[in-house]
Amino acid sequence: MTKVGIFKLVSFLAIIAVLIVICVVEDRLVADSLMQVKDYCYRIEMASEEQGGIASGEVASLVDNLETSWKKNEGKLCFMVNHKSIEQLGVEIVRLKTYIDEEEEIEFFTSLEIIKSYVESFQHFMGASFHNIL
Amino acid sequence: MLTIVVRAIIIYLLVLFLYRVMGKRQLGEMQPFELVLTLIIADLATIPMAEVSVPVLHGIVPVLTLVVLHFILTYLSSVSNKFASFLSGKPVIVINPDGIDAKALKNLNISVDDVFEAIRGCGYFSVEQIQYAIMETNGKMSVLPKSNFAPVTVQDMKLKVEKSVIPINVVNEGKILKDNLEIAKIDEAKVMELLNKAKVKKVKDVLLMTIDKQGSVYLQQYGQKYQTLQTEVLGKVKE
């Protein structure tokens, strides 16, 4: 095999390797980040039910943890996902804190539902399915 | 803005590298699938450059995928003639000894005017002069003239001529090309000796200097008419 042939073969294999790595990393990163958000949403719901409202330290602490976890993952997700698609999720998470401060339960749970809905639609939108391909 | 600058550099370098990997092709010599690839890559590469909210990977991944596809199609074309003709088509004879083949033109979706344009590009102005004209898969026309209209060759004249040689550039725009000196099997001292002989003081003054296997030197200084020199044959010039 000539030098050019070896160069092409190595490049071909390297490109395939890069594509596989990107696909796997993206899948894991998106799935993990969204699962974390979903998990926090359910925990916040349960905590608010147990405490009989949103004005409790536990709910506030869970919302803080959700925000911290999201901020940590958002930076990584920006490598893979259109920034505009995840922007709204961040905004809704920040709103949760304001609703706790102002004790606006209805808006709080609406925001929580919006976050859950975003997460679910993302999971559909990001996954490799026949519907998404077409 | 800095983001756009950096992204443009990344994508430019990547596309440049990928085109180097895919091999050199002139735009007019591309096969249909190569042309499609070029057009799509050009479009994909600009998306993350123009839209900052789109991750740069959204431009890189589809481009890399297309390159992989290109490698696979090229490989399959090289191992299977059937696949190659399916992918790129087959050369089609549009002019034969009976004249223009109207059916072939219809299949190719080209007009008689297009054929005339193509044969004029090959240096022929009448269909009568042409024995065969073939539309190649890359869209170029190849013409075989009738014997009485073909240019006379050295072989026709039965002349004995020296083998053609490629002149090697040894000085280009005031700079000695050291790699080419090796190919021409001469050294810098010899170049300077030739320049002195031509009354040129500095290498910087030379626009172009070439030398061939037979020792013929072409020398042109900036702003002056060229001159030719003959020197002894300097070892065997690599071809």
Query: So where are chain A's domains?
Result: 29-133
Q: Are the beta carbons of A8 and B71 separated by less than 8 Å?
A: yes
Taking the CA of residue A19 and the nearest CA in chain B, the distance in Å comes to 7
Query: Which residues in chain B are contacts of A83 at CB distance < 8 A?
Result: 52-55
How is the beta sheet containing B227-230 ordered, strand by strand?
B175-176, B168-172, B206-211, B216-221, B227-230
Contacts of A16 in chain B (CB under 8 A): 68
Structure tokens at B195: 């320049």
Chain B residues with a Cβ under 8 Å from any Cβ in chain A: 21, 52-55, 57-58, 61, 64-65, 67-68, 71
Give the contacts of A96 (CB within 8 A, at least 6 positions apart).
Answer: A44, A63, A66, A67, A108, A111, A112, A115
CATH architecture of B168-230: 2-Layer Sandwich (3.30)
Residue A7 pLDDT level (bands cut at 50, 70, 90): confident
Chain A residues in contact with B67 by the CB 8 A cut-off are 15
Chain A CB contacts of B64 under 8 Å are 15, 18-19
Question: Cα(B223)–Cα(A104) distance, rounded to whole angstroms?
Answer: 84
Q: Which of B104, B139, B143 is nearest to B123 (CA)?
A: B143
**Closest C-alpha among B148, B149, B116 to residue B133:** B116
Tokens describing residue B105: 């033109």
Q: Please check the confidence at residue B222 and state whether its pLDDT lies above 60.
A: yes
User: Which has the closest alpha carbon to A67: A50, A83, A47, A91?
Assistant: A91
Cross-chain Cβ contact A83/B53 below 8 Å? yes
User: Where is pLDDT greater, at B197 or B21?
Assistant: B197
Give yes or no for A81 touching B (CB within 8 A): yes
Top pLDDT among B118 and A58 is at: B118
Task: Kindly indicate the confidence band of residue B28, based on its pLDDT and cuts at 50, 70 and 90.
Answer: low
Return residue ranges of chain B for CATH 3.30.240.20.
92-149, 168-230
| Chain B residue with Cα closest to A75 | B55
Amino acid B102: pLDDT:
93
CA distance B68 to chain A (A): 7
pLDDT confidence band for A60 (50 / 70 / 90): confident
Residues of chain A contacting residue B71, judged by C-beta atoms under 8 Å apart: 8, 12
On whether any CB of chain B is under 8 Å from the CB of A83, the answer is yes
Whether residues A16 and B65 touch (CB distance < 8 A) is answered with: no
Average pLDDT, chain B: 86
Mutation target vs A (from B67, B72, B73; most A CBs, 10 A cutoff):
B67
Q: Give the number of other Cβ atoms within 10 Å of residue A40's Cβ.
A: 21
| Dist. CA B7–CA B127, nearest whole Å | 53
CA A42-A43-A44 angle, 5° bins = 90
Q: Which segments of chain B are extended strands (E)?
A: 92-96, 99-100, 130-135, 141-145, 168-172, 175-176, 206-211, 216-221, 227-230
Contact between A16 and B61 using a beta-carbon 8 Å cutoff = no
Shortest CA distance to A105 belongs to which of A42, A52, A50?
Answer: A52
Q: What is the mean pLDDT of residues B28-35?
A: 77
Would you call A131 an interface residue with chain B, using a CB distance cutoff of 8 Å?
no
Question: Taking residues B139-155, what's their average pLDDT?
Answer: 88
Dist CA A116 CA A106 (whole Å): 15
Banded pLDDT at B235 (limits 50, 70, 90): low
Q: Do B65 and A78 touch (CB under 8 A)?
A: no
Closest chain B residue to A13, measured at CA = B68
User: How many residues appear in chain B?
Assistant: 239
pTM assigned to the model: 0.70
Residue B237 has pLDDT above 50, yes or no: no
Instruction: Domain B92-149: give its CATH code.
Output: 3.30.240.20
* % of chain A with per-residue pLDDT over 90: 7
Q: Which of A7, A21, A25, A83 should one mutate to test binding to chain B, selecting the residue with the greatest count of B CBs within 10 A?
A: A83
Helix (H, G, I), strand (E, B) or coil at B172: strand
Q: What is the pLDDT of residue A16?
A: 92
Say what the pLDDT of residue B153 is: 85
Q: Do A82 and B65 touch (CB under 8 A)?
A: no
pLDDT recorded at residue B148? 87
